[in-house]
Amino acid sequence: MPNGSEQYDKKNVLVTGGAGFIGSYLCEHLLKDSRVICVDNFVTSQESNIDHLLKNQDFEFIRHDFNTPFDPEIFPELARFKIKFQGIQEIYHLACPTSPKKFDQFKIQTLLANSQAVKNALDLAVRYHAKIQLASASVVYGPRKPDNSPYKEDDYGMVNALSPRACYDEGKRYAETMFETYRQVYKLETKIARIFRTYGPRMPLYDGQMVPDFITDALDNKDLIIYGDETFKTSLTYVSDIVDAMVKLMAAPADIGPVNLGSDLDMPLVDVAQRVIEMTGSTSRITFEPPLLFMSQLGLPDITKAKEKLGWLPLVRLDEGLKRAIDYTVAHKSLLGFKM
């Protein structure tokens, strides 16, 4: 079986959840110098996210539920990737449902995505001696600290393993444990990206993801709904910054350990909603509804490690990121299923 030390004209990279919000941008970025195999089952993602990539000869999409084993060598459409000879050099595991409004509907899929799907991805990494990265999340730290101080990577956090959302929160912690155990036992090069709240074009609409819903509602002069109260704060990082960090993390030394990826700027959601109203010239009002189970206040990241070890920090300012998301929504309004 080929190993990662051999040289090829282009790497073969597998991205699970590659048709999702972050995954589609990651696939697009990786195509600059790699061949990309995108695997997704469209549970909370959409084909339109990757339509523009399908004609690229270095890109192939496979519809598959990664909760079941995946053998890339049995797919004839992957023959040009020469996987039997070259193998797979890198795996990014992003596959996991992320729907705030449909969280209860996908609890079992979420549980399996953070356990069985992780095992299937890790087993592939063992088979091909591939580097592998987990898209973990800020939820591994649990709720915000009482003093709002940021979390460092060596903070243990506190998560209720029996809570209604534990399939995601505790699931991400277990996924990290699996990555670390495979690293210890099989000497894999594993990377753990602890991703904080991210926004940008291609996020699902009408799904409880507040930034895209702010934009669509503002364009339609409807109320902008915050699932919480006036005190709801969050950090927001534009998707291209997160993708850049993930690629830098994959290239980092093998022993780097988990890395926080996000913004350390605390932002009241009321201010974000107001900026969207101003930028769209909307007559919308801001209203408040009870919190959604999946959409809660999260802790802030200490990003010192990302700055020092990866040479990374978020570059896209909020106004610029919102403008890009608004422009995308206006340009794709017919495809996105709403009227202006």
The tokens for 65 are 């539920």
Backbone angles phi, psi at 60, to 5 degrees: -140, 135
Q: Which of 141, 151, 168, 238 is the catalytic position?
A: 168
Helix axis angle for 318-331 and 269-280, nearest 10°, is 50
Q: Tokens standing for 249?
A: 């993390």
Q: Which of 218, 234, 238 is nearest to 291 (CA)?
A: 234
Q: How far is CA 256 from the centre of its chain?
A: 20
d(Cα 194, Cα 138) in Å, to the nearest integer? 6
The CA-atom distances, in angstroms, between 291 and each of 176, 230, 269, 286 are: 27, 12, 13, 15
Identify any residues that bridge with 40 across adjacent strands, giving them in sequence order.
Answer: 63
Other beta carbons within 10 Å of 80:
11
**By the 8 A CB rule, do 314 and 263 touch?**
yes
Can you tell me whether residue 104 is helix, strand or coil? Answer: helix
Structural contact between residues 159 and 169, judged by C-beta atoms closer than 8 angstroms: yes
- Tell me which amino acid residue 180 is: E
Q: How many CB atoms lie within 10 A of CB 306?
A: 26
Query: Tokens 């980092």 appear where?
Result: 252
Q: Residue 182 catalytic? A: no
In this structure, are residues 214 and 280 in contact, taking their beta carbons and an 8 Å threshold? Answer: no
Closest CA to 91 of 116, 54, 119: 119
Return all residues near 51 (Cβ < 8 A) that are at least 6 apart: none
Q: Annotated active-site positions, please?
A: 168
